[in-house]
Amino acid sequence: MKKIIYLLFIAVSMEACNKGSEKFPLQTQLNDDVDLLVLLEDFPLDSFYGKSYQGGLIFYLKSNGTGMVAGTEDLSASATWGCGGETIDGADEKLIGYGKSNTDSIISQCLDIYSAAWICSNNNANGYSDWYLPNLNELREMRTKLHQHGYGSFSPFYYWSSTEGEEFNSAYYQLFDDGTYTKGSKTNGFHVRAIRNF
């Protein structure tokens, strides 16, 4: 009897020690809320992309354990950028990390509740309410890390970014099929996919 108890103790101890190692699948450990900094010591960065985490699919991850997830489905297939004929102060950022500030600027200056930014900011998918419309480079990262590897069920067509264009009444969007991006009229109807930070 003592031998059985001892063996059980050893087995449990080994399992605890192996938690955070490659002996447990990454997705299982993410589901169990194992600290990302621990997981980053054992798994290559590329292995995190497309994994489910905190309401979405990981597409951006930094070495400090912070990053971004994309929603698991489109919120619209034909939303306008909105605010046609208006220029939004503070919504022209393209660098990763500024999509949230773009979105905040849009919804604070434009009351178009059917716009891409409003749809994202009012999303409550998977128990989270801090979603926003990605800016241009965040959108490009989503295509590279998720769509090109078959994650996320993205459309091959155009997606809005939260980045306003330099020309009057324009905003940036990206074609997910071949990755080209451009800017055009805010009245165009395109796909919308929300993201959030973790």
Task: Indicate if 89 and 179 belong to the same structural domain.
Answer: yes
- Identify whether residues 82 and 34 lie together within a single domain: no
Residue 69 lies in a domain: no
The pLDDT tens digits for 23-55 are 799 999 999 999 999 999 999 999 999 999 999
Which residue range forms the structural domain that includes residue 7? Answer: 1-43
- pLDDT tens-digit profile of 166-192? 999 999 999 999 999 999 999 999 999
Residue 138 lies in a domain: yes
- The β-bridge relationship of strands 170-175 and 181-185 is antiparallel
* Same domain membership, residue 101 and residue 39: no
Residue 66 domain flag = no
- DSSP characters for 14-29? HHHHHTTSTTS-HHHH
Return the amino acid letter for 193.
R
Q: What pTM did the predictor assign? A: 0.87
Quick one: 109 and 156 in the same domain? Answer: yes
Residues 6+ away with beta carbon under 8 Å from 150:
50
